Amino acid sequence: MTIHVSRCCFGYRRRDLVLDDLTIELPSGSVVLLGPNGAGKSTLLGLLASALRPRAGSVRLGDLDTRRRGDLKEYRRQVGWLPQQVTPVPGLRVREQAAYAGWLKGLSRRDAWDRSSEAVKQVGLGELAKRSATHLSGGQLRRLGIAQTLVHSARVVLMDEPTAGLDPTQRGAFRALLDKFRDRASFVVSTHQTEDLADSFDSVNLLDQGRVLFQGSTASFLDLAPHQVEKERRAEAAYAGLVKEEV
């Protein structure tokens, strides 16, 4: 289901705007949100998660609008959030933390507990369900983060730099995990990396300094690269042609 962001303005200080009159659509499927550091990607994801509220404009998922207080609970049930750092809750085991996330999203304690067992199994943490969450590796914590969204059956899962700090093997395992759940939910993944973009995402949204530089299919994004560029470098070339990063 598409998330519509319409004419949104947001700033962390009164006079400074990170996003100014931003309009963007995040369609169903697997969407990558590209852009350099400081482009506004994390701020946009905060708005999509309803953790941040825009000064002006709207964020909508179907008929649900984050401006309407009565819609917020259901909106948050349908939208899952995987921040850059998944924080283990002291004193909770893996399954308990997954259940706790479901309870925070409005499930009853029993429903959250019942669903948590399957959720941790689906992300490959079934054998670690009784382990303290504080004893998980970085890759395992990201898996737990996904389990926390599966507990409440999120229809859209937002991920902020989910592979940052992971080694190549962990990144490959994480991408395989996303492929596994493509039929269950849509994903919006924020990153500044272009590796495996063609194989992992259906559409691309590119931000720079709070502005949309590109919206469209992955194929149309790759077509922006010069024809002589090797296939493996087309995403990188298309990105470089639109974003002029300072060294």
Task: Give domain 3-242's CATH architecture.
Answer: 3-Layer(aba) Sandwich (3.40)
For 170-215, what is each residue's pLDDT tens digit?
777 778 878 888 888 899 999 888 877 888 899 999 999 889 999 9
b/e per residue, 178-191, with b = 16+ CB within 10 A?
Answer: beebeeebbbbbbb
Domain map (residue ranges) of the chain: 3-242
Q: Is the pLDDT of residue 76 over 70?
A: yes
Least confident range of 3-12, 60-69, 77-86: 77-86
- Could you write out the DSSP letters of every residue in 215-242? EEEHHHHHTTS-TTS-GGGHHHHHHHHH
For 97-149, what is each residue's pLDDT tens digit?
999 999 988 889 999 999 999 999 988 899 999 999 999 988 889 889 888 88
Q: Report the distance separating Cα 85 and Cα 197, nearest Å.
A: 22
Task: Kindly report each contact of residues 235-244 with a partner whose C-beta sits within 8 Å and lies 24 or more positions away, as own/partner.
Answer: 235/194, 235/195, 235/197, 235/198, 236/194, 239/34, 239/194, 239/206, 242/206, 242/208, 242/213, 242/214, 243/35, 243/36, 243/206, 243/208, 243/213
For 15-47, what is each residue's pLDDT tens digit?
788 999 999 999 999 999 999 888 899 999 999
Q: Report the distance separating Cα 66 and Cα 51, nearest Å.
A: 10
Q: Report the distance separating Cα 207 and Cα 26, nearest Å.
A: 13
Q: Quick one: tokens of 158? A: 């937002």
Q: What percent of the chain has pLDDT over 90?
A: 53
Decide: 108 and 137 in contact? Cβ < 8 Å: no
Q: Which residues have a Cβ under 8 Å from the Cβ of 50 and sit 6 or more positions away?
A: 59, 66, 72, 75, 76, 79
Q: Angle at CA 105, nearest 5°, toward 10 and 49?
A: 20
